[in-house]
């Protein structure tokens, strides 16, 4: 017998072996003591009845409570789990009016609270795929295999004269080993947090474009006599992206609306702490953080809430990410 898997399990454990591409269905009828019935028992996999109607969707806890409400009124139901994560209740059409009335009364008396539990610590290889590009090109530059520093650095006056590719190639260059190490370590930590919510590769090309736009904004602000390089602009864009994603997941009903802004305030404080320092490109960090905020609006709310497994589109996005740097360096060289 198959069992329901709790939606509170870490997203990274929900792979294709745990979630069948078919819908998981449980048929439940009224019993003498429905409160004692375990919704995770007696599950069977089959296609949902096309004649049934979905009357509720939510987390396991919500659907468990809703199903007990309906069973107490003598309404038979089916429980289904979608591949994305949420549970659903299906009933026969003749019970729809009664079921929706009973659920509305229950929800009025017991308003559902959005659940956003903390994610368990985990480590992903996805940030390493993203960090490979700047690390490899920087090491090539350090080893003097090719002369990359002068054609690739972001020079404000040259960018304004039309050499836009410098805003991208500069992301893959670093001043010394310490500069490279700090960006790799900080970048891995921040990007690993993004993987808690959805595959990082799905956002990598967008964050890279946001970083390039930030470098262009720096050139437009300073205009002349300013040169910069480093992957830190990308790291700060990732911080901004993560802040907006967490902000969107915060419960709307909290003790004081200011609590909803905790992710944004925390990310801003982190950006200020990391962004200041000797020889730091403060403008690049600031513009990168602001540009990254827009990237946090790209994923859908359901994707952030329920997570998503790696898919073919993610590897397409990884190819676009590498292709962006390849295109920029082809212009630079």
**Lowest-confidence range among 15-24, 32-41, 275-284, 322-331?**
15-24
Residue 278: phi and psi, rounded to 5, are: -65, 135
Is it the case that residue 182 has pLDDT exceeding 60? yes
Average pLDDT for 126-149: 92
Confidence of residue 26 (pLDDT cuts 50, 70, 90): low
Helices (H) and strands (E) in the chain, counts: 13, 7
Question: For residue 4, what pLDDT is reported?
Answer: 34
Average pLDDT for 92-108: 89
Query: What domains does the chain contain, in order, with CATH numbers?
Result: 11-109 (no CATH), 126-332 (1.20.1540.10)
Question: For residue 40, what pLDDT is reported?
Answer: 43
Using one digit for the tens of pLDDT, what is the confidence trace for 184-232? 999 999 999 999 989 999 999 999 999 999 999 999 998 888 888 999 9
**Lowest-confidence range among 28-37, 123-132, 150-159?**
28-37
Confidence of residue 47 (pLDDT cuts 50, 70, 90): very low
Average pLDDT for 33-41: 46
Question: How much is the mean pLDDT over the chain?
Answer: 81
**Lowest-confidence range among 47-56, 74-83, 201-210, 242-251?**
47-56
CB 174 within 8 A of CB 231: yes
Average pLDDT for 302-331: 91
Confidence of residue 306 (pLDDT cuts 50, 70, 90): confident
Where is pLDDT greater, at 147 or 140?
140
Average pLDDT for 230-243: 94
| Measured distance CA(4)–CA(7) in Å, rounded | 9
CB 231 within 8 A of CB 172: yes
Residue 25: phi and psi, rounded to 5, are: -120, 140
Is it the case that residue 11 has pLDDT exceeding 60? no
Question: For residue 309, what pLDDT is reported?
Answer: 85
Confidence of residue 117 (pLDDT cuts 50, 70, 90): low
Question: For residue 231, what pLDDT is reported?
Answer: 94
Is it the case that residue 107 has pLDDT exceeding 90? no
Count Cβ neighbours within 10 Å for each residue of 306-332 and write b for 16 or more, e otherwise.
bbbbbeeebeebbeebbebbeebbeeb
């Amino acid at each position: 017998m198959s069992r329901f898997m709790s939606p509170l399990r870490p997203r990274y454990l929900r792979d294709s072996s745990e979630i069948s591409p078919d819908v998981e269905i449980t048929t439940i009828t009224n019993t003498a003591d429905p409160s004692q019935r375990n919704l995770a028992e007696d599950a069977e996999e089959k296609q949902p009845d096309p004649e049934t109607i979905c009357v509720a969707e939510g987390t396991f806890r919500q659907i468990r409570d809703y199903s007990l409400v309906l069973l107490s009124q003598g309404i038979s139901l089916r429980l289904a789990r979608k591949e994305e994560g949420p549970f659903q209740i299906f009933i026969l059409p003749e019970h729809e009016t009664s079921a929706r009335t009973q659920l509305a009364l229950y929800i009025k008396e017991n308003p559902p609270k959005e659940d956003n539990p903390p994610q368990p610590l985990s480590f992903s290889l996805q940030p390493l795929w993203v960090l490979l590009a700047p690390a490899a090109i920087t090491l090539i530059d350090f080893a003097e295999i090719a002369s990359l520093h002068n054609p690739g650095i972001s020079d404000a006056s040259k960018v304004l004269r039309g050499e836009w590719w410098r805003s991208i190639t500069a992301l893959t260059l670093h001043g010394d080993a310490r500069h490279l190490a700090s960006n790799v370590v900080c970048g891995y930590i921040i990007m690993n947090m993004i993987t808690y919510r959805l595959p990082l590769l799905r956002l990598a090309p967008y964050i890279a474009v946001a970083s390039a736009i930030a470098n262009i904004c720096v050139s437009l602000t300073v205009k002349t006599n300013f040169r910069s390089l480093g992957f830190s602009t990308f790291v700060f864009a990732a911080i901004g992206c993560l802040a907006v994603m967490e902000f969107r997941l915060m419960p709307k009903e909290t003790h004081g609306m200011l609590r909803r802004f905790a992710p944004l305030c925390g990310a801003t404080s982190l950006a200020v702490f990391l962004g200041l320092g000797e020889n730091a490109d403060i403008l690049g960090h600031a513009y990168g953080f602001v540009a990254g905020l827009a990237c946090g609006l790209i994923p859908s709310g359901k994707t952030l809430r329920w997570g998503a497994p790696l898919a073919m589109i993610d590897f397409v996005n990884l190819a676009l990410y590498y292709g962006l740097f390849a295109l920029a360096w082809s212009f630079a060289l």
